[in-house]
Structure formats: C-alpha cells, structure tokens
Amino acid sequence: MQTFVLLRALFSISDLAEIHSAATQVIPTQNPQFRLPISPSARYRDADMSLTQLDQLKQFTVVVADTGDFESMKSYQPQDATTNPSLILQAAEKPEYRPLVEKAVADFRNSGLTGQEQLSAILDRILILFGLEILKIVPGRVSTEVDARLSFDTDATVAKARELIAAYEKEGHSRERILIKIASTWEGIKAAEILEKDGIRCNLTLLFSFAQAVACAEAKVQLISPFVGRILDWYKASTGKDYQGDEDPGVISVKAIYNYYKKFGYQTEVMGASFRNVGEIQALAGCDLLTISPGLLKELQASTEPLARRLDPAAAALDGIEKITLDEKTFRFLYNEDAMAVEKTADGIRKFSADIIKLEKLVASMI
C-alpha cells in the first residue's frame, strides 16, 4: 500500500514542480555517441534569433523523426528515426515506396514458404528493407517494431526480435544501430529484459503509466517511448477540458518519469512520442529524445522564437520523489488502477495489429 501511495503522489509533485535550467548551457544526454556534433558557438544559440526552434531543440535533445517517409527525414536531418506498423502501412501504400514492398514479395515468392509463414516472412522483410533505407539517411538508430500481436507472449517476442536483429546483421549493420520496439506490457518488458542481456537494445513503446516506466527501468531497457499526445487525448475526452503546456497530462507524465530516472541514476533513455502540438514539445525540451512527426518538425523549423531547456538532470535531482520497486503483482495492480493507461495500451495494440493485418492483405494480393 505504501508503494501505491508513493506512486499516486508522483504526479501531484511533478504537476507543482516546474523544470528550469540555463538556456545557454548544453548538457549531454545518456548516450553522447548518438548526439549530433555541437560547435562552440552552439552554447550561445538561444540568444541567436536566426536559429529555428528545431535547431535550438537539437542543442539539448536528440531529435528523432517519427515517420516512414524518407524525404521527410532528409529534410529535417534527425539523429534517429522510429517506425511503427501504421507508418509502414502508410508508406507502403504510396507509389514511391511500392518497389520496396515488391522486392520483399519477390524475395519470398519462391521460398517454399506458404500461408501465414510466408506472409510473416514477407512482412519482416518489408520492415528490414524500410529500416535499411532509413539507416542510409540518419546517422543514429532506427526503431523496428515487433508484431503487436505478440504483445502478450514473451518467448515469441524474444524469438522475433532475434530474427529481426539477425536480418539487419546479415545486411552488414551493427545491432547498436537498431532498437527493437516492443509494447510495454508485462510480457513485453520481460522480453526486453532478456534481449538486453543479449546485447539487443529495445525501445518499449505504448507506454502510458508510471508503473510501466519503473518496470522498464528495472529491466534495464535501452529506451522508453511514453505517448504524450495519446495521454492528452484520453484526458480531454474524459474531462472535456483543454490542456496546454505544463498542464498537459502527457507532459506531466513524461516529466515525472524523466525526473525519476535521472534522480535515481537509471540509464534508460526517455523519448517523448505521439505529440499533438508544438507546445508539448516545447514543454519537454531537454528530454533525452523526442520523436516528432514531419508536420510538427515543419512548425518548429518555421519558428525562430527562443526555446529554453525545460528538463534537466540537475533539477531532477532535487525532486522529492521516493524510489519504488515493482514485482509482477504490484505492477499489475498499479497499472490496473490507471484507467487511462489500461485503455490506451490496449487500444494501441489493437490498432497496430489491425494495420499489420491490412499490410498482410496488401502483400497477399501481390503474391
């Protein structure tokens, strides 16, 4: 019960606390090897009104492209890129990306595989082919997602992740440049814990609760993707209120997670995701990474308004939050207590699964 009380207290503490840091100070994130080079003059860029907000953001946050569109990646020069079944489906339906789908189909048309086994192999190949193209564009990492229908199967998730990594390595790419995306279910988190011990880095996605975040940190996963905008969606629908900036429930959630990780020395990276507006991004400037859609990247690039760092490890160290430990029973109870997290995680898994089925139908029509 003490654990529960502590957890419930986190958001009120984070809601009251406002993160401040010197706008001219550049503080490296967890993984400096993936940072873009910063020139000496970058320390003073906040005062340079000619710099776009996107350029300013890149001073203290790794910017990641949340898209499967290669041209968008080239335009905004992100460090990393993330994909998911929905983004791959959208890209696969565009004429310019049809050749990648056709190549994947051709690779397995006469493989001897049939039925669902053949479809699964082709879908994996599509993911790899898109990933390979993305790795030609970004200098950092690409996230490739495990089939959402495996979200409650630890063993199957581990097996699929190993297959995907093996496919990338066969193409000559180091596993250090690949993040395997897995849904933040208990089974998914346990799969990631196994994979991390094998040197396979994981991105735990569809994360909506503090309990999920703590479990991921204790499993020593590489990175988590809390879904800022989808949290906002739920609260807007539930309360009828509009939220802006630091009052945004998604922003509050990510700040609480970030502060907890930094205060207690967890190495897991925090990557805010699923943004609905630039205000959410601005409020989370300083987060380890932010994965941003092309539309919002364009808005940031169009603005030269000053952008201050809002999240900072030094400020996080002053947070009054207490450390907690979660076993499976405590995790499931606390997770179940968060109606938003339960509903949004389930909804995300269903939607990603539906888009995988749509992609399978597209592939089946081409075999």
pLDDT for residue 272: 98
Task: Provide the phi-psi class of 286: left if phi over 0, else alpha when psi is between -120 and 50, else beta.
Answer: left
pLDDT tens for 79-119 read 999 888 888 888 888 899 999 999 999 999 989 999 999 99
> Residues of the chain whose pLDDT is less than 50?
1-47
pLDDT for residue 49: 60
Residue 56: CB partners within 8 Å, gap ≥ 6? 45, 46, 285, 306, 307
pTM of the model: 0.84
Give domain limits for the chain. Answer: 2-364
Residue carrying the six token digits 């998730």? 157
For the chain, the distance separating the N- and C-terminal CA atoms, rounded to the nearest angstrom, is: 56
Closest CA to 151 of 363, 322, 346, 15: 346
d(CA 176, CA 174): 5
* DSSP letters for 227-249: BHHHHHHHHHHHH-----GGG-H
- Specify whether 181 is catalytic: yes
- Rounded to a whole number of angstroms, the CA Rg of the chain reads 20
pLDDT for residue 50: 85
Architecture of domain 2-364: Alpha-Beta Barrel (3.20)
* List 160, 181, 190, 263, catalytic entry: 181
